[in-house]
Amino acid sequence: MSFAELVAASNYSFLRGASHPKHMVGQALALGHAGIGIADRNTVAGVVRAHVALKEKQAEARELFGHDVPFKLIVGSRLVFADGTPDIVVYPRTRCGWGRLTRLLTLGNRRAEKGGCILRFADLLEFAEAMVLIVLPESSFDPDEVDEAKGSRPESEDSSNVVTLEFPDRHPGLVPGPTGQQATVSRLEKQTPAQGRGDGRLERVLGRLSKALPGNVWLGVSMSRGGRDRRTLARLCRIADEARVPVLATCDALYATPEQRPLHDIVTCIRKGETVASAGRLLEANGERHLKPEEEMRRLFRDRPEAIDESRRILSLIAFTLDDLRYEYPHEPVPPGWDPQDWLEHLVWQTALERYGPWVPRKVFDALMEEFWLIRHRKYAYYFLTVHDVVKYARSLDPPILCQGRGSAANSVVCYLLGVTAVDPVQFDLLFSRFVSAERDEPPDIDVDFEHERREEVMQYIYRRYGRHRAGIAATTFHYRARSTVREVGKALGLSEDVTQRLTSTVWGSYASSMEDDRFAMAGYSLENPAMAQLKTIVDQLLEFPRHLSQHVGGFVLTQDRLDETVPIHNAAMDDRTFIEWDKDDIDALGLMKVDVLALGMLTCIRKAFEMMRCHGLGDHELASIPQEDPAIYDMLCEGDSIGVFQVESRAQINMLPRLQPREFYDLAIQVAIVRPGPIEGDMVHPYLKRRKEKRERNIEIKYPAPAPLHGPPDELKEVLHKTFGVPLFQEQAMRLAIVAAKFSSEDANRLRRAMATFRNVGTIGNFEEKMIGGMVRRGYERDFAERCYKQIEGFGSYGFPESHAISFALLVYVSSWLKCHHPAVFCAALLNSQPMGFYAPAQLVRDAREHGVAVRDIDVNASDWDNDLEGGALRLGFRQIDGFKQDWADKLAEARAVGSFTSIEELAARANLPARALRLLADADAFRSIEHDRRSALWEARRTPGDVLPLFAAADARQLGAEADAQLPAMPLSEHVAADYQVTRLSLKGHPMEFLREGFRREGVLSSAEANARKNGARARVAGVVLVRQRPGKGNAIFVTLEDETGIVNVLFWARVFEANRRQIMAARLMEVEGEVQKSEEGVLHIIGARAIDRTAELNRLSEDHVTRPSMAGADVSLTPDYRHDTAPRGSHPRDVRILPKSRDFH
Amino acid sequence: MRIAACCPAAAALGLAPDMMLADARARVPDLIGVAHAPYADHEWLEALADGCGRYTPAVALDPPDGLVLDIAGCTHPFGGERALGVEIEARLARRGILVRWACGETPDAARALSRFQTAAAPDEDAAIRRLPVAALELDDEATTALGRAGLKTVGDLAARPLAMIAARFGGAAVTRIRRILGEEESPLIPRVIAPPMRAERRFAEPVARTDFALEVLGELAGEAMNALAQAGEGGRRFEARFFRSDGQVLRLAIETGQPSRDVKVILRLFRERIDSLADPIDPGFGFDLIRLDVAVAEPLGASQLKLEGGAVAEVEVAVLIDRLSTRLGRGRVRRFVPRDTHIPEQAELLLPAAEAAKPAAWPEPEAGEPPLRPIHLFDPPQPIDHVVSDTPDGPPLRFRWRRTLHEVARMEGPERIAPEWWRRREGANAKGGLTRDYYRIEDVRGRRFWIFRHGLYDEVEQPGWYVHGLFA
């Protein structure tokens, strides 16, 4: 075969290409082409995917035929110029050419604001060396596109300048750039194919390029079936011959197979904001832009057969593949004169001596020697040193930024000794070599979490230290998800918003990556309806398409040489940020180094707690210095007392704690990992708990799942599973299982691992199903176990959780539990000062602290600061709890107070010089009690106190306000105070709203939560309370609602059927009464299985008649499930729109 | 998106205005949402205000959903205030409108009572004092602050020195209180009804001559045009009414395709209209009133004449279209409008010329290129047979059409036009039809055809061939 399609776009030509890169490659292989050239519009974002796809195909071929298929992938970019120059597809011939291409693209990207790329012909001439250029006859530039991306509109005068400068001798006159004209003509006129034809532009571009780069320029011609293909071909051949440029046959392919034409039409409509019915000739007249077999191409180009063979010649010219991108680590962290490995070892030995003295323990020594060998062998020294460098910087600040590493390589002795983590891997038998296997030629993985409020400082340090040309943030590819896809496809098909809205409302959360059939039924539509069937077909195809690139939360790529010679760089939406075009998976696939600089709210909280303890003489601590294995902490956790504790504070985790009974550090790692989709979907939780109990209580020997005797030793899995009692819980256990039990080759396992990591993106994991289950069953494992293992892997696919992550997190669980257990006041204050973070609202955190014996004091102008703080062992609430209060008001107030306490509101206003709004907020927060004003009188007074004091009065230190008769305001009842407290500070120390309604509820026979929790299993009960959280986790079979009253909280579970019958009440109620049955588990976890819900919100009005409770008003659908993704900072914001009570936190 | 208003059924489900639509849908998944049209609401309110003209001439709007009627001296025909209120309530209830009403000494009091009163009171003053402070309609912050101060009713406020209130809530709050209490005048601003553009002439003696009547119409048109010019508008629809002394009214209406202020044009259109009538205007015993209404007017800027004289072609065409449409009927005069589609037979539309927007530009044929589309299209395309051609996409080499055999001498193609897959035609395979390959053909005798093969060979086994058009 001698044909290859060299002008092929993937769906990384956003909303133009209609096939994934891997489908393009797959189809070219299936057609038996000699190769393929992937070139997307002004980007190389998709080429890595194509590269990886080809590698996988070759691996499959090797398995089937024993050798690679002769096929060559060349990668480049289709340059679309803003000055009307015809499109030019560029393929670098060498590594150097690649560097020039990426620099050229970077130039265009940086010129436009975020998202655009503005290139001119002159730019190409500057960079075009060591490249193959395929000039296409016409320009596909679309001025709207740049406009949308908010880039500057390409200057038409300027483009004319460029052309005139380029060809001064041949074309002295002014050539109007087509862009200026195009913008003004109507769409109908724009469609006329005259552009780029006959104005001599193509001839000039060819002439100029063939002179500049003789032998490297082609004219690409496609047969579009537009009615005069042969004449066009003849004309273009004439032009090419005159310029002495060979003609290349292409399809200008936008999709792999003809079946994708509808999809292509849809993406065109989405791009143009039209419907298919209205788009008219914005769509292609036919579906010819797919990859075609060679015979077909030969028939189409029978007038010019050599155009087919040129593709082979181009392939042979190109030596570059993405494997040539040799990565070099930045050299900064190593002092001159040192070899990186020596320097690393030097640093490690230094700290090892400090820590252990001259006698380093044998186990540590052995582990270190092994790690050093591996690091030397794989040349990772620079990587460890770079991470160390970043961490060292964060620690060197005053106050230091708290940080902790996690990830496979983070749990090495080297990292422990370098201070990157505080977890001693020797203690937990974490073998570094197990994570970084020798055959995997990939860089190690260390994510470093920093305090969320101060991460930016670290990021700016990295830019400073390595320079913007060498440091860039990785991209995150946003994909089409179920909701966005249905909405946009529905719009393009011309369905009404009501229909799509109804469909998308069946998807809880925006991250669902599939649109199952039953969703249509749920929304009341039948798939037999052709419109719906069509919608579904297209939605299925469009799902998982890349939508746009954005910056990753914190993955930095650092290089020794110019980064823009490896990958193009874009401007990010945020000022001062730049990001590269490749995402995490691409970077992994190419073996570039990435340092993840992530933000973690709990670290902020812990740092603030440590600081507070130092200030108040409660000890000087850091992560590593917390006393280990304190039984009091485990006692606390075993009771499910974990509100505020990192990772284990959610309802599901609280319920799991008493069942798991954590008694040692490693149990915490399991606790963190077990309430995750992987173990849950693999149904591993119950077996694990059972085995654990058996082992603990009766010391029954663990029976490992075993193959048939013929196939191997019965304890072949012991090595893999002994730490978790024979049940796989962690991601790497599942991987080892595939190798040991299903006999995956290490290469297979590697592919499985990659498929797992990118499951959400590409959905390749299904290929492994038969292989894994079949493999295990054939070797005599029980089918049920095999299926569960596979299910678990699928579950991991979305949110994989390896042991090393779990252990790093476990440390934070331990430290935060320690704080909660021994310093509850400090812990609560630090949590409040680090909001927003975590799972609970301030009211619950404060309530929990009070239940643990912490005295909590109200906000007061004579005692509080901005932050919540300790006051002789008690917790004094700070001004930051007041909604809308500003920090500089608090600072001014504290400054003015330094001289002496305030004695009147007017005096405070004058001394602190606060605006009227600040005074009113303080009064409304009831913060004037120390100067004998309750909320009502303070407000009455504050409203007439002018905020800004007139200078004359200030100078005379005189009272500005005259005396006034007593207004004789009625006294404010306590219930109204409580309601007002909730409105202003979202918590009240004076009481709970339910207290005031208790009488009425008791008469009706409604129990308090304390009473309900004391009921026996199976008893009927009615409870009522304020709704804290509504959740619909996982598959949505059950809805969990947490109710709170003055005696505590009670968890209610509604099965989906009951939920549907009571939907309105459950979704609407702020104050809910539930009738149901008490269900108590063995460990004493209590749920009320709701049979009926009653919306009692109206009762809240009785707290204060003047505040009419309106329906809750914050947005629904906060997130699909509690955030499983470990690589993001805590999300979700606090509802500011407060009526009488803060809105519940709903996770749909 | 928030809920702007909801029907009683929705309210019964616990939905209420100002709720997020997403929240509402979470509660009631099969909710039907209709986009809020404040403008339409306003028009509706205006229409109700018009209707209330039957009770009193002084009706003021209280948008978005209130009307204030000054019924001083208007109540006796209905039997008193209360009876009047009941009558309004009943009348509007017949149209499905729920009315809350109240009477008050001042417009502010009536307004507050109708909107905020919750329980009956012995007299108006007591009722007003019982109103919640929300009835003052201060901003949210002030209303909350009054509540926090424990002042919950208008009476609570009125009982305290107003200086105290002024110091805290400003003079505007005090004005509000005084107005509601009736201590301060608040003028009612009756609705200003934009008078329709109208000109009329009454005659002492009935006019019996049609010619003279038309002359008067011309004068009236002149007056109306002046008024239009002042408003910067032009009329699109004119209605003339001739009131005969015997009580009969003759009505004539004309429309123009573009807004116009040209008296001559209007008059000519009226004449055309009269000429086209079966029975021209019969004055009978004479007209005693002639009236000209401009029923529809649209903005029209001043037009500029050409310096070199002569008419603007566009205007001329528009005038011609108006004349023809008036004479022949709107539907009879049509013009071709290009449509943006690849399907040849749908590429143009015939629309009533008076309605068609400014004609869009037709795609320009390329200079030096033969035309892509024929000058004549057959509808439906005409089948041909005995076609000899190459697979898969060769042109016909020979074919028979209308019993004549044609030998192809030259050809170009194919131009491939794929079906519009999103149109689901019954019967055809689900892709919305078959792909067509079009060829431009010249036979040995020099005749040029536009021929297509209906279907690719991998779509159907035996694709049919058709002549779709003829080139000149």
Structure tokens given for A838: 């975590």
H/E element, A335: none
CB contact under 8 A, B15 and A285: no
**C-alpha pair distances (Å), B76 with each of B51, B71, B82, B84, B318:** 19, 10, 11, 9, 56
CB contact under 8 A, B421 and A187: no
Of residues B122, B110, B5, the one with CA closest to residue B56: B110
A506/B252 Cα distance (integer angstroms): 57
Residues of chain A contacting residue B412, judged by C-beta atoms under 8 Å apart: 227-228, 230-231
Cβ neighbours, 10 Å, residue B390: 9
Residues of chain B contacting residue A970, judged by C-beta atoms under 8 Å apart: 150
Listed in order, strand segments (DSSP E) in B112-261 are 197-207, 233-244, 249-260
A1008/A1030 Cα distance (integer angstroms): 19
Q: How far is A569 from chain B (nearest CA, A)?
A: 37
**C-alpha pair distances (Å), A264 with each of A282, A289, A458:** 11, 10, 43
Structure tokens given for A746: 């290490």
CB contact under 8 A, A1068 and B27: yes
A574/A1021 Cα distance (integer angstroms): 53
Q: Is the dihedral of CA A1027, A1032, A1033, A1037 positive or negative?
A: positive
The domain segmentation of chain B, as residue ranges, is 8-36, 40-180, 197-302+310-320, 376-470
Residues of chain B contacting residue A283, judged by C-beta atoms under 8 Å apart: 342
Residues 6+ apart with CB under 8 A from B241: B249, B250, B251, B252, B289, B290, B291, B292, B293
Of residues B93, B139, B290, the one with CA closest to residue B203: B290
Convert A1018-1055 to b/e letters by CB count within 10 Å (16 or more is b): eeebbbbbbbbbbbbbeeeebbbbbbbbbbbbbbbbbe
B27/A67 Cα distance (integer angstroms): 60
Structure tokens given for A1095: 């919306």
Crossing angle of helices A530-542 and A261-272, in 10° steps, is 80
Interface test with B, best of A535, A1096, A1106, A1117 (most B CBs within 10 A): A1106
Q: How far is B436 from chain A (nearest CA, A)?
A: 9
In this prediction, residues B440-460 reach a mean pLDDT of 91
Q: Specify the pLDDT at position A167.
A: 35
Q: Specify the pLDDT at position A186.
A: 40
DSSP state of B80: S
- Confidence check: pLDDT of B376 > 70: yes
| Residue in A closest to B364 by C-alpha | A192
3-state secondary structure B307-326: CCCCCCHHHHHHHHHHHHHH
Of A936, A967, A1117, the CB nearest to B22: A1117
CB A222 within 8 A of CB A137: no
B97/A1072 Cα distance (integer angstroms): 34
Residues 6+ apart with CB under 8 A from A1044: A844, A992, A994, A1009, A1025, A1026, A1028
In this prediction, residues B350-375 reach a mean pLDDT of 76
Crossing angle of helices A783-799 and A767-778, in 10° steps, is 150
Q: How far is B459 from chain A (nearest CA, A)?
A: 12
Query: What residues form DSSP beta bridges with A650?
Result: none
CB A590 within 8 A of CB A48: yes
Residues of chain A contacting residue B452, judged by C-beta atoms under 8 Å apart: none
A220/A140 Cα distance (integer angstroms): 14
Convert B368-388 to b/e letters by CB count within 10 Å (16 or more is b): eeeebbbeebeeebeebeebe
Q: Parallel, antiparallel, or unpaired: how do β-strands A1145-1147 and A1020-1031 relate?
A: parallel
CB contact under 8 A, A924 and B29: no
Helix residue ranges, H only, A306-454: 306-317, 340-356, 362-378, 381-396, 413-418, 425-428, 432-435
Low-confidence spans in chain A with pLDDT less than 70:
1, 114-115, 145-198, 430-443, 505-515, 575, 753-766, 797-800, 947-962, 1034-1036, 1104-1148
DSSP state of A1036: S
* Cis peptide, bond prior to residue B299, ω within 30 of zero: no
CB contact under 8 A, B168 and A940: yes
Residues of chain A contacting residue B361, judged by C-beta atoms under 8 Å apart: 186, 188-189
A993/A818 Cα distance (integer angstroms): 32
Residues of chain B contacting residue A265, judged by C-beta atoms under 8 Å apart: 421-422
CB contact under 8 A, B364 and A192: yes
H/E element, A656: helix A651-660
CB contact under 8 A, B416 and A288: yes
CB A801 within 8 A of CB A678: yes
- Interface membership of A496 toward B (CB under 8 Å): no
Task: Give the homologous superfamily in CATH for domain B197-302+310-320.
Answer: DNA polymerase, Y-family, little finger domain (3.30.1490.100)
- Name the A residues in 522-581 with CB < 8 Å from any B CB: 523-524, 530-531, 534
Residues 6+ apart with CB under 8 A from A923: A905, A933, A935, A938, A939, A941, A942, A943
Residues of chain B contacting residue A181, judged by C-beta atoms under 8 Å apart: none
Q: Parallel, antiparallel, or unpaired: how do β-strands B436-443 and A1048-1055 relate?
A: unpaired
A331/A558 Cα distance (integer angstroms): 10
- Interface membership of A227 toward B (CB under 8 Å): yes
Crossing angle of helices A767-778 and A746-757, in 10° steps, is 140
User: Residue A423 phi/psi, 5° resolution?
Assistant: -95, 125
Residues of chain B contacting residue A498, judged by C-beta atoms under 8 Å apart: 32-33
CB contact under 8 A, B414 and A227: yes
- Interface membership of A1104 toward B (CB under 8 Å): yes
This model of the complex carries an ipTM of 0.71
Q: How far is A529 from chain B (nearest CA, A)?
A: 11
Q: How far is B36 from chain A (nearest CA, A)?
A: 14
Of B422, B435, B440, the CB nearest to A286: B435
- Confidence check: pLDDT of B465 > 90: yes
Of A277, A1104, A1114, the CB nearest to B422: A277
Q: How far is A1008 from chain B (nearest CA, A)?
A: 26
CB contact under 8 A, B415 and A283: no
Residues of chain A contacting residue B151, judged by C-beta atoms under 8 Å apart: 969
The percentage of residues in chain B with a pLDDT greater than 70, rounded to a whole number, is 93
| Residue in A closest to B147 by C-alpha | A1106
Listed in order, strand segments (DSSP E) in A496-603 are 546-558, 569-571, 578-583, 594-600
* Cis peptide, bond prior to residue B380, ω within 30 of zero: yes
Q: Specify the pLDDT at position B358.
A: 62
- Name the A residues in 184-213 with CB < 8 Å from any B CB: 186-189, 191-194, 197
Interface test with A, best of B20, B140, B148, B417 (most A CBs within 10 A): B148
Of A228, A283, A524, the CB nearest to B30: A524
CB A393 within 8 A of CB A772: no
Q: Specify the pLDDT at position A31.
A: 94
Q: Specify the pLDDT at position A146.
A: 56
CB B374 within 8 A of CB B468: yes
Q: Specify the pLDDT at position A75.
A: 95
Q: Specify the pLDDT at position B256.
A: 83
A32 CB-side CA count, 13 A: 7
Q: How far is A729 from chain B (nearest CA, A)?
A: 35
Q: How far is A227 from chain B (nearest CA, A)?
A: 4
Q: What are the DSSP calls for A254-297, one per residue?
A: SBSSGGGHHHHHHHHHHHHT--HHHHGGGS-SS---B---HHHH
